[in-house]
Amino acid sequence: MIFKKAGMTAVEEKSAIIILGASGDLARRKLIPALSVLREQNLITPDSIIVGEGRSEFTDEEFRDRFSTCCEFREQLFYHQGIDGLRDYISSKGEFSKIIAFLSLPPASYASTIKRLYNEGFRDEVNIVIEKPFGRDYESAHELNESIHRFYSEKQIFRSDHYLAKEAVQNILIFRFANSIFEASWNSNYIESIQINAFESIGVEERGGYFDHAGSIRDMVQNHLLQMLCLTTMDPPVSLDPEDIKNQKINILKAIEIEEVSRGRYSGYLDEKDVAPDSDTETWAEMKLKINNHRWAGTPVYIRTGKALDRKGTEIGLRFKKRPHALYNPPEGTAPNEIIFKVQPSEGIVLQLTGKNPGMDLQLARTDMAFCYSNSFNEDIPEAYQKLLLDALRGDHTLFVSAEETELAWKKLNGITNRGELTPYEKGSVPESVFGDIWINFENYVDIC
């Protein structure tokens, strides 16, 4: 179980890891390097095999040459052209107690590929990993889930959201539920607002074709931002069983109501490669939500995400309410406390406090208490795909998204995507907020950690 242990537990059985669409970018940039690290750390066995599948014709040697791998691990890589005959090919390599099939393919081919895997003879022994996007609205997500479930049980399906595998995101639950000092104030009596940022400095780059059909709301809010919000606000699960964690996230997704949305688009977006000249796609989204439950009624949630902004940074901030009586600094009182989860580029948790400036006079100053990964731990932070691949092999669903969660998240966004004006903003800048001066000054925390 991920949340119980430090480090990663090895998969001791001989496994076969199939990458469908192995000549693509994801296999080269993320999957093969992640598997190579898992092998190096003995987290998968030396007799496990990694089989790339694709339409192109490669010999094993040609396939191996595509990656900068060496030695033993290189010998564990194989290639098979096409899905036909793939089951027999795997059997010809030996008996494997674990098989995972990672679909590194265009989402439009998920349903047909899964059917083909089933017809090829992959049955209960296989776990299937699918990358987002799962559908583009509630109806298509529901249809996709139904067609998957015709062949495989939900237990065999691992919908990845790589944000859940980020160390600092996993730490949200530990921070909240392994420490007793926060829980009492983690509610609308004490928290004035919850704010989530996922800023990117890059534009759409080579992914204009995909992104132009999605936009920031579908691409980031439906999955990464809502998942982070669930972890930040859910009630404690009764156990660390993935099912119990999932149920608490579902309760939040059910309670969410989107109140306001504004969209923006960076200058020059229409000139990006593979973007439609009459595109109505947003590269920036800002939203106000509420959570209609006992704990959070009355605490607004603000989220914003975008591309081509002034910096890359993902943060979750909770701003506390001010003291009811302004003992210091009357009449306005001292600045509210803030807790910031720094997810990236550097990981940490910062608590903003007010203290006394040293000196004879009573002068107050804002100060921080910071827990920074870089100061506290020597271990390298594992890359998200290492964790996701290992967990799919172990059959652990904690960091994956269930059919119900993904459908609920889409349901909440129905009618919101592609709605409203697109406000232009300059590349490299952050659009002015439509909510005015409510935002935590996240820039203050950038250099801490």
Instruction: Select 132 or 319, whichever has its Cβ closest to ligand BG6.
Output: 132
Q: Tell me the C-alpha distance between 426 and 390, whole Å.
A: 41
With beta carbons less than 8 A apart as the criterion, state whether 131 and 103 touch: yes
- Nearest approach in angstroms of CB 124 to ligand BG6 is 30
Q: Tell me the C-alpha distance between 166 and 343, whole Å.
A: 7
Give me the phi and psi of 101, to 5 degrees please.
-115, 115
| DSSP tag of 112 | H
Name the nearest CA neighbour of 7 among 377, 393, 426, 424: 377
With beta carbons less than 8 A apart as the criterion, state whether 18 and 255 touch: no
Q: Name the active-site residue from 80, 213, 224, 397.
A: 224
Is 391 annotated to bind a ligand? Reply is no
Decide if 294 is catalytic.
no
Give me the phi and psi of 346, to 5 degrees please.
-115, 150
Residues 161-180 that bind ligand BG6 (CB under 6 A): 162
Mode of pairing for the β-strands spanning 49-54 and 77-81: parallel
- Number of residues in contact with ligand BG6, rule: CB under 6 A? 4
* Buried b / exposed e along 217-243 (16+ C-beta atoms within 10 A): bbbbbbbbbbbbbbbbbbeebeeeebe
Instruction: Select 204 or 339, whichever has its Cβ closest to ligand BG6.
Output: 204
**Closest residue to ligand BG6: CB criterion:** 219
Name the nearest CA neighbour of 28 among 76, 65, 78, 56: 65
Direct distance between the N- and C-terminal alpha carbons of the chain, in angstroms, rounded to an integer: 28
Is 22 annotated to bind a ligand? Reply is yes
Is 288 annotated to bind a ligand? Reply is no
The three-point CA angle 24-215-273 to 5° equals 55
Name the nearest CA neighbour of 172 among 304, 409, 340: 340
Q: How many CA atoms lie within 13 A of 159 on its CB side?
A: 23
Is 262 annotated to bind a ligand? Reply is no
Is 219 annotated to bind a ligand? Reply is yes
Name the nearest CA neighbour of 370 among 75, 168, 97, 153: 168
- The reply to whether 53 sits near ligand BG6 by the rule CB under 6 A is no
Instruction: Select 151 or 211, whichever has its Cβ closest to ligand BG6.
Output: 211
Is 87 annotated to bind a ligand? Reply is no
Name the nearest CA neighbour of 321 among 129, 193, 130: 193
Instruction: Select 219 or 407, whichever has its Cβ closest to ligand BG6.
Output: 219
Instruction: Select 27 or 77, whichever has its Cβ closest to ligand BG6.
Output: 27
Is 274 annotated to bind a ligand? Reply is no
Instruction: Select 291 or 392, whichever has its Cβ closest to ligand BG6.
Output: 392
Instruction: Select 162 or 387, whichever has its Cβ closest to ligand BG6.
Output: 162
Is 321 annotated to bind a ligand? Reply is no
- Nearest approach in angstroms of CB 402 to ligand BG6 is 18
The interface mask with ligand BG6, positions 324-363, x = CB under 6 A, is ----------------------------------------
Is 166 annotated to bind a ligand? Reply is yes
The interface mask with ligand BG6, positions 21-50, x = CB under 6 A, is ------------------------------
The kind and range of the H/E element at 259 are strand 256-266
- Nearest approach in angstroms of CB 80 to ligand BG6 is 28
Residue of 120, 192, 200, 286 interacting with ligand BG6 (CB under 6 A): 200
Residues 257-296 that bind ligand BG6 (CB under 6 A): none
Cα 240 versus chain centre, distance: 19
Residue of 212, 219, 272, 405 interacting with ligand BG6 (CB under 6 A): 219
Residues 127-146 that bind ligand BG6 (CB under 6 A): 132
Give the annotated binding-site residues: 21-28, 55, 132, 162, 166, 200, 219, 307, 312
Which residues are part of the catalytic machinery?
224
Give the annotated binding-site residues for NADP(+): 21-28, 55, 132
Applying CB under 6 A, the residues found at the interface with ligand BG6 are 132, 162, 200, 219
